Amino acid sequence: MEGVILIFNKVLSSGNCSNRYSCFCRLAVRAVVFKDDKLLLIKTKKGDYKFPGGGTEQDESHCEALMREVLEETGYHVDRVNELVGIIIEKKPDKFDSTKIFEMKSYYYICNIGRRQVEQTLDEYEAEQDFKPIWISLNEALEKITS
């Protein structure tokens, strides 16, 4: 998207890793993709919007994880992973273990994609949430993501 630079770095915290709590940490990567003045997002059946991407697997680079996750969730092939534009660290009480804090560290990268060549290959959770890739304007995306 010509003329638009998206840079962010936000820390959301409702928990604190201290001696009393142990942390369960997860590393994720997210793709920020613009095409024809629109942004690629995933919409769920709940009406939530998110950037395509997900958790990295053991010994997987950020680039490899982005390519795999974007393909699975959208059917688009990532042609190129460009610059890192933001990191969001979220900490909150773990839903499954009250003695732990869940920490998600998400890295956001500008990515270029090719044509959509395959169908989505969603995991059970993503299929249950009815993940759908959509293209929306930056203003609409900001409104949806921040509401």
- pLDDT tens for 63-81 read 999 999 999 999 999 999 9
Q: Provide the pLDDT for residue 145.
A: 73
Q: Domain residues for 65?
A: 8-36+52-121
Among 80, 103, 110, 95, which Cα is nearest to 18's? 103
Tally of domains in the chain: 1
User: In angstroms, rounded to a whole number, what is the distance separating the alpha carbons of residues 118 and 113?
Assistant: 13
Look up the CATH number of the domain holding residue 78. 3.90.79.10
pTM over 0.85? The answer is no
User: In angstroms, rounded to a whole number, what is the distance separating the alpha carbons of residues 118 and 136?
Assistant: 21
User: In angstroms, rounded to a whole number, what is the distance separating the alpha carbons of residues 63 and 80?
Assistant: 9
